[in-house]
Amino acid sequence: MLEDLAAGQVTLATVWLLGVSMGLTACTVTCLPFMGTWALGRAGGQREAFLHTGVFLAGRVTTYTLLATLAGALGAGIAQALGGAWGNALIGGVSIVAGLWLLRHPAGNACAAPPAPTFSPVTFRRKKADNLPPLFLGAALSLTPCTPLASLLALAAQAGSPAQGAAYGLAFGLGAAMTPLLILVPLAGSLGTALRDGRAWLSRWLVWGAAAVLILLGLRRLLLV
């Protein structure tokens, strides 16, 4: 692909297809254990899980754009830095925080009967804050080293322009957003809701189990540091 760039044959569509190739394969395999577990533990239903998937993907698109911009400005050194321990450390830390967040802020009536409907600005803000773990998971998991990401950063570095790098990163991220996660994660949210409904005793175990999985996934990443 670098040869194509030198010949002026690489287009944004080419980079978008490179992102699609990752979104349909490596992205799903790497990210589903994190986001699927989050949606299952939240048990917030298909609508909330789809929203959180969108926030997660927004975090990925933003991070790819920033990384490619840096590669365009600083060169190929950014790709080498991704292979270091700090990427796994960040992923592990965010996963652990997501697990603890799940314990602290279970969705809906995960552990108790719902109160009478009232207008509560505090509850509204907390629901908006619940988007933060998926956002940070998306940003952190974008740092997972893989061949498509290395190719993106190499293209951006070869372009030698922050603006061109940003364009490559955005196209790549939008391609990577074409992922089965858009279907699988909402299904996990729906499954969590189905398991929770009418089973108050199971709600607590569902939250605790999902939180434990996220924390263990995070610890496993930290052990790779």
Supply the range of the domain harboring residue 59. Answer: 11-113+120-223
The reported pLDDT for the residue numbered 31 is: 95
- pTM of the full structure: 0.85
Average pLDDT over residues 195-205: 83
Is 4 a domain residue?
no
Instruction: Tell me: pLDDT of 113 over 50.
Output: no
Burial class (CB in 10 A: 0-12, 13-18, 19+), 127: middle
Does any domain span residue 66? yes
Q: Considering the domain boundaries, does residue 91 fall inside one? A: yes
Residue 36 counted as domain residue: yes
Per-residue pLDDT at 60 exceeds 70: yes
Q: Is residue 6 part of a domain?
A: no
Model confidence at 111, pLDDT cuts 50, 70, 90, reads very low
pLDDT of amino acid 79: 66
Indicate whether 2 belongs to any domain: no
> How much is the pLDDT for 186?
96
Indicate whether 37 pLDDT > 60.
yes
Q: Cα(110)–Cα(112) distance, rounded to whole angstroms? A: 6
In a domain, 159, yes or no: yes
Q: How far is CA 174 from CA 29, 30, 177, 204, 212, in A?
A: 18, 17, 5, 37, 31
Please give the tally of structural domains in the chain. 1
Higher pLDDT, 103 or 75: 103
Q: Residue 207 falls within a domain, yes or no?
A: yes
